[in-house]
Amino acid sequence: MSQLSLNLIAISVFVITMMSLLGPLIDLSPFVPAIAVASLLGLATLDTFSWQGKGSTLLLDWLARFSADHRARVVRHEAGHFLVAQRLGIPVTGYTLSAWEAFKQGQSGLGGIQFDTQELDAELQQGKLPAQLLDRYCTIWMAGAAAENLVYGDVQGGADDRQTLNAVLTQLPLSLTEREQKERWSALRAKNLLQENWSTYEALVTALEQRASVETCNQILEQQTAVE
């Protein structure tokens, strides 16, 4: 069962437990909490096995949309990925800034920046991966967290990015220590690239907030580069 579904169940059980305790005080039938528990467990199971966790993802995303701070953090996180990908020569093919946007486009997860990974996939299928290419993608995957850390001083997102990075690194003959060093080095490189292109990054944040097309975002990056 997905972590999101488990979190929702935990919250729901807490609420229902409180209903059971307070029920006698407000003349609430004891059957109400029991029915609620059965219904929630059924929905969580259906969500996990039939919808691959999309239901809980969409629900949590919908709740998060009421937070302006959360929306701003998501944009700044994804702008970090976008800018670093462009600077390292990896084409961005699209982006979404919420689970609902991703769902409408037929994607899973919470959304984010989509990259051209054809070269990466081809090399992995052949059982090899040039160090330079690996470094570029690792830096891009860590760029969202690096952007959050620069702006807010902490990181709340990026779990999926680290999972993707580790999934690739575990396919290579690297020790745990080497994988951890690669992650730290990539985060540092991403941070440096963002700091070196900060005015461009801020312009990109504004463009993403306006849901500008990928083509428009690329034009803004090129224009800002010429100015800098």
Closest CA to 156 of 210, 76, 63: 76
Of 137, 139, 144, residue with least CA distance to 160: 144
13 CB neighbour count, 10 Å cutoff: 15
Residue 148 has pLDDT above 70, yes or no: yes
Confidence of residue 50 (pLDDT cuts 50, 70, 90): very low
Q: How many CB atoms lie within 10 A of CB 197?
A: 20
Domain count, the chain: 2
Residue 30 has pLDDT above 90, yes or no: no
- Phi then psi for residue 157, to 5 deg, are -105, -175
Question: Closest Cα partner for 205 from 73, 98, 66, 65?
Answer: 73
Q: Is the pTM of this model over 0.85?
A: no
Phi-psi group of 109: left, alpha or beta (phi > 0 → left; psi -120 to 50 → alpha; rest → beta) = left
Q: Tell me: do 42 and 116 sit in the same domain.
A: no
Cβ–Cβ < 8 Å for 157, 74: yes
| 8 Å CB contact between 56 and 5 | yes
Average pLDDT rounded to a whole number, residues 127-149:
93
On whether both 27 and 7 belong to a single domain, the answer is: yes
* Contact residues for 191 (Cβ-Cβ < 8 A; gap 6+): 146, 149, 150
pLDDT of residue 26: 59
pLDDT of residue 135: 95
Q: Are residues 59 and 96 in the same domain?
A: no
Residue bearing the bigger pLDDT, 216 or 55: 216
Q: What is the pLDDT of residues 187-212, one digit of tens each?
A: 999 999 999 999 999 999 999 999 99
> Quick one: 89 and 190 in the same domain?
yes
Residue 204, domain CATH: 1.20.58.760
DSSP state of 110: S
Query: Of 27-41, 47-61, 171-185, where does the model show the most confidence?
Result: 171-185
Binned at pLDDT 50, 70 and 90, residue 38 comes out as low
Q: How confident is the model at residue 129 (pLDDT cuts 50, 70, 90)?
A: confident
Last residue of a domain, one of 49, 64, 79: 64
Considering the domain architecture, whether residues 53 and 75 belong to the same structural domain is answered as no
Q: Which long-range contacts (CB under 8 A, 24 or more apart) does 216-221 make?
A: 217/82, 217/92, 218/86, 218/92, 221/83, 221/86
% residues pLDDT > 90 (the chain) = 46
Domain encompassing residue 26:
3-64
